[in-house]
Structure 1
Amino acid sequence: MSLTYEDRRMTILKQLEIEGKVQVHHLSHLLGISTETVRRDLDRLEKEGKLRKVYGGAVKMRMELVEPPFLKRSQMMMKEKTAIGKLAASLVQDGETIMLDNGTTTMEILPHLKDRANVTLITHSVPILNLALEMFKGKIIFVGGEMNVDYQSATGSLTDELYDQFKVNKAFLTVGGITLTEGITDFHLAEAIISRKMMRRAEEAIVVADHSKFGVSTFVKISRLEEISMLITDPGCPNEWIDSIEALGIEVRISN
């Protein structure tokens, strides 16, 4: 029995959500229809604002290029970020050294570690440093360098070199977006470079990301998904994403 447009539409959009892009010939084989029918479906979906056609297929419309300011981001997905932060903090053992990047989700880890005097925190984030100075009882190491007012963090070659001096148990990383094809991405080249360094200097690289980051590709690639150790997200993350990421051998934890 041939598939209706609505059936085909659902399959195409599901592939887009997971892969970030689709190819005409692959969809033709997957759906058992001609390439001409696929192209007509893609034309229709483009008019609906669901995708953007490119040579040989189509890509998602959600290509985010501009990151909201830190304060605005800190107010987005607050419930999800708090729960993710609590779960991430529960993974930190006494005596461990951790790195927190310059993100609003990693910032939510700190309140759940405030009484952990035997934990060492390393960060280049000014907001996380300020919060740690207020509440954290463990050791704090600030990785300095050229201060970027827009990012509210230290970046550049000096920061990169200073991170080279450390080897830690866990690095907790935020991202601008996550796709299977592009991996984990960020809005800023300078921050992406620091994130890569943090991953290399940690025994475990743990990405903390709420469900809004999935299927989104941003300006610069941090790494392939296979290079991270664990992903922590919230219950809003679609099961298809969880299954696809676990199939890569990555542990996925879901917050309450």
Structure 2
Amino acid sequence: MKARRLQDIEEYVHSHKSVTLDELCQKFEVSKNTIRRDINQIVRKGAVEKVYGGVTSATELIPFENRGSKHSSEKSIIARLAASCIEENDLIFIDSGTTTQHMAEHLPANISFTILTNSLDIINGASELPLVNLLVIGNTYKHKTKSFVGIDEPRMLDKYNVNKAFMAATGISTTHGLTNSDLLEYEIKKVIAKKAETLLLLADPSKFGKSTLLTYAPLENVDMIISSEPLPDPFQLFCESHGIEVKIP
């Protein structure tokens, strides 16, 4: 499937930093014309850059298992601010991600609400709270991201009236919106982002100005951005012009 090949190509370029077109042709067993078309599509996302005879990584993508320790204190602050937005009787979605997973430490224990999630950390945290109703989605466990991914039928999510969705993103761009690089996670993110009454984006400063292969929601659809410090000027201006609330400490 082309979308899967594009994702694999992007991840291969990021892991090797710089590769030739001939190397990509050999690796993915396609013609040079096909690789050129694929690379042009990925380049438009801002994820890689063309160089003479090949391509190079345009953004530092850190493996998920190493992201938790990077910007850890910022992620915890963001997660605490996000958890403070939870109210009695809410039906919320908490996304998988190294920032959203910190919400497990800050979930309110004294009110009743429902969590829909595919994050193992959130599942473990919520299971300790007797007033929380816990709903799990995703049919395949992915060790790398500690999340459940894949849904047999996207319409199965239609039965849930999610009033607040706490979302993560690998990269955030005013042009490409909220992006991630995993096709299976993308399907869940896209459905939830479109369905939720209120879309809250949790993002540390390292995420802004970057984009990856898959856009699951345009930035203008976000209702609130929760971060650990003031946003870069282009993003602050974008939020002001689109009525997006910014919540910082």
Whether these two folds match at TM > 0.5 is: yes
The residue type equivalent to 1:170 in the other structure is K
1:165 matches 2:159 = yes
1:118 matches 2:112 = yes
Q: Which residue of 2 aligns with 1:233?
A: 227
Q: CA deviation at 1:85?
A: 1.0
The correspondence for 1:63, drawn from 46, 59, 62, is 59
Asked whether the equivalents of residues 177 and 184 of structure 1 are also in contact (C-alpha less than 8 Å), the reply is: yes
Alignment root-mean-square deviation, CA = 2.5
The 3 A distance-change label for structure 1 pair 120 and 107 is same
Q: CA deviation at 1:137?
A: 4.0
Asked whether the equivalents of residues 194 and 217 of structure 2 are also in contact (C-alpha less than 8 Å), the reply is: no
Distance 2:130 2:156 in 1: 22
1:189 matches 2:178 = no
Q: CA deviation at 1:129?
A: 1.0
Question: Which deviates further from its counterpart, 91-100 or 143-152?
Answer: 143-152
Distance 1:190 1:53 in 2: 27
Asked whether the equivalents of residues 110 and 136 of structure 1 are also in contact (C-alpha less than 8 Å), the reply is: no
Q: CA deviation at 1:53?
A: 7.7
Q: Which residue of 2 aligns with 1:152?
A: 146
Q: Which residue of 1 aligns with 2:239?
A: 245
Distance 1:186 1:116 in 2: 34
Distance 2:182 2:146 in 1: 12
Distance 1:223 1:102 in 2: 16
The correspondence for 1:214, drawn from 186, 189, 208, is 208
Distance 1:159 1:132 in 2: 25
Aligned residue pairs, count: 198
Gaps of 5+ in 1: 1-50, 55-59
The residue type equivalent to 1:68 in the other structure is P
1:93 matches 2:93 = no
Q: Secondary structure at the match of 1:222?
A: strand
Q: CA deviation at 1:152?
A: 2.5
Q: CA deviation at 1:244?
A: 2.4
The 3 A distance-change label for structure 1 pair 201 and 134 is same
Q: CA deviation at 1:161?
A: 4.1
Q: Secondary structure at the match of 1:215?
A: coil
Q: Aligned ranges for residues 13-24 of structure 1 at < 5 Å?
A: none
Asked whether the equivalents of residues 94 and 118 of structure 1 are also in contact (C-alpha less than 8 Å), the reply is: yes
Q: CA deviation at 1:253?
A: 1.5
Q: Secondary structure at the match of 1:147?
A: strand
Distance 2:154 2:139 in 1: 8
Distance 1:190 1:97 in 2: 23
Percent identity of paired positions between Structure 1 and Structure 2: 33
Q: Which residue of 1 aligns with 2:103?
A: 109
The 3 A distance-change label for structure 1 pair 116 and 227 is same
